[in-house]
Amino acid sequence: MNEKKNALAALALGAIGVVYGDIGTSVLYAFKQAFAQGHIAVNEPNVLGVLSMFVWALIGVVAFKYVGLVMRADNHGEGGMMALLALAARSIEGRPRLTLMVTMLGVFGVALFFGDGVITPAISVLSAVEGLEVATPAARPFIIPVTLAVLALLFVVQRRGTGDIGRFFGPVMVLWFLVIGLAGAFQVAQEPLVLQALSPLYGLDFALQRPGLTFITLGAVFLCLTGAEALYADMGPFGARPIRLAWFALVMPALVLNYLGQGALVLQRPDAIDNPFYLLAPPWALVPFVVLATVATVIASQALISGAFSATKQAIQLGFMPRMTVTHTSTRETGQIYVGAINWLLLTGVVVAVALFRSSDKLAAAYGISVSLLMVITTVLTYFVVRHAWHYPAWLAAAATAVFLAVDLLFFSSNALKVVEGGWFPLLVAALLYLVMSTWRRGRALLAESTRATSIDLREFLESVFVAPPPRVSGTAVFMSAVQGTTPSALMHSLKHYKVLHVQNLFVSVRSHEVPWIGLDKRVEVEPLGHDCWQIVVNYGFKNDFDIPKALQMVRARGIDLEPMGTSYFLSRDIVVPTLGGGMPLWREKLFAQMHHNASAAAEFLKLPANAVVELGSKVEI
């Protein structure tokens, strides 16, 4: 029993360090944004009304929607947009049009996640460093350079991995939540009137008295929810129970106390609305406060960067992105990976965002719209899971979805007012990424269709070959085939040029499944083709690591004598040729051809030994 409690506590501590960094640092900028435009006067009814909306947004969206409902929609214990997309698509198999719609919706959700990944580090670190200006106005010229230096250092160290520093994330974030909670509680004690904001009636009264202002203010209120998606996205490593325990035991009380504390402060000193978070700290603690906030925002950014790497790997294996080099940065933790291309693209986007907007207030105008739209997509996809995977009655699934969707659309509509002010930036990032992902997905489908149309059935080809068999040479040939059951072009080129066949021939296809993990007992499927030839399918989940030589060692139990030193791997290196009148506009076909050309080598991605690979090229028109 004690061991279970200790394990639960350890997982909850880890969840605090990884899952709650983003939502935990929203206190730096969210509350002041509600009054930043000058539309709302800083007086008692307005402060209590806004605070009430903050508190009940946390309760309704985070506690009820994500903790209560969405986290139940796990894909074999895994969460996140890719896992939810796979779960929703699998629940409506046999309905091609609906599946396509759900797939494209989910792909756009993943693209929005990356758009959020550009804004989050920028606004978090910049808002933390801006505390220096509260300490001394002389620091103002150094805020942007210091922010860029911190962000650059954060991305540069990604290659080294975060295993060594990751163990400190939990304790540091626990300290962060304790500090912000105590700072808020101290201020609430000075102005206990602010506790009335815990009643939803104040938020409701504010909305009824000022509906227009309420609509505008919801965009700022939503900022306290940014990071809520992480509760679901990071469910795999920690589990639902530790995340829920951390939320209710520490994170939610600390956030509510801090927001109430900021409200209590501005009730006493209306001028404190310029930066109420840092003004909660006594003068002697301001610099330590800034340092702790900067560390907390770096941790929040790190969690999002790691999430981007993980989402990229999943998208690659599900066929939504071209192959990229994925480096494991830890020998102990399989989930710690580094994707160089994504790392540098994120850094470029973050630097552009900081240089373009130059303040957390302006970045706040760009923030929220992508996250709110992502929440809308999450709600829609969850409906298909509730209705078709869990088989709840249609009326109940629709009613529950309608309630959450109405709230999500209200937040999104309010955030849509920010498009001109800066909301266009993350939407542009998401749109570009969606174009890349959808083009890659469609291009791969066209490539497979073209391959099937021009290929020969493998069994028929082998039967014709063995009518007058060529000489056999010692060893094993592994022919990688993208389309199961078809003759790999590498085999035909090999017979044409070398005019020999190996003693053993394995025709291997890789199949990615819409589940996170495929166990070793289901890793390989073997079908004998005769004449010491076998068709082999290697199965992977979207979180498994591809390793073909390791997987093929499992066929020994099927009577196939496979010696690593005597095995050669033959790959078909397709050169894509765009054609007019194909399945996509010519410019998209050219984009796909370029991505296909620049994708990392299949041999490296499949972990094939470099000294045992033979690549034979061919041209394929799409």
Q: Are 479 and 489 in contact (CB under 8 A)?
A: no
CA distances (Å), origin 213, targets 209, 220, 316, 357, 538: 9, 11, 44, 25, 58
- Which run of H or of E encompasses 479? strand 472-480
Q: Which two tokens stand for residue 296?
A: 């907390």
Q: How far apart are CA 586 and CA 579, in angstroms?
A: 7
In this structure, which amino acid lies at residue 618?
S
pLDDT for 542-569, tens place per residue?
888 899 999 999 988 777 888 888 899 9
- Which run of H or of E encompasses 620? strand 613-621
Chain mean pLDDT for the chain: 88
Segment-wise mean pLDDT, segments of 10 residues, the chain, 622 residues = 75 85 91 83 92 95 89 80 85 86 90 87 90 82 92 87 68 95 96 95 93 90 88 80 92 97 95 91 89 90 84 87 84 70 93 90 83 91 90 91 92 89 89 93 88 86 91 92 87 87 94 86 92 94 90 86 88 82 84 89 88 82 76
The DSSP output letter for 467 is: T
pLDDT over 90 for what percent of the chain? Answer: 46
- List all residues 6 or more positions away from 226 whose beta carbon is below 8 Å from its beta carbon: 22, 23, 26, 116, 120, 367, 368, 371
- List all residues 6 or more positions away from 486 whose beta carbon is below 8 Å from its beta carbon: 451, 452, 455, 456, 457, 458
Q: How far apart are CA 126 and CA 146, in angstroms?
A: 9
In this structure, which amino acid lies at residue 278?
Y
- List all residues 6 or more positions away from 339 whose beta carbon is below 8 Å from its beta carbon: 308, 309, 312, 313, 324, 325, 326, 327
Determine the pLDDT at residue 165. Answer: 59
C-alpha distance across the termini of the chain, in Å: 61
Q: Which residues pair with 534 in a beta bridge?
A: 506, 528
Residue whose pair of structure tokens reads 């779960």 in the numeric block: 87
CA 129 from centre of chain: 26
CA distances (Å), origin 170, targets 17, 300, 592, 619: 4, 11, 42, 52
3-class DSSP state of 307: helix
pLDDT for 487-541, tens place per residue?
998 898 888 888 899 999 999 999 988 888 898 889 999 999 989 999 999 999 8
- Describe the crossing of helices 96-129 and 369-384 by its angle, rounded to 10 degrees: 150
CA distances (Å), origin 45, targets 223, 277, 460, 517, 564: 21, 20, 81, 53, 75
Q: How far apart are CA 110 and CA 82, in angstroms?
A: 7
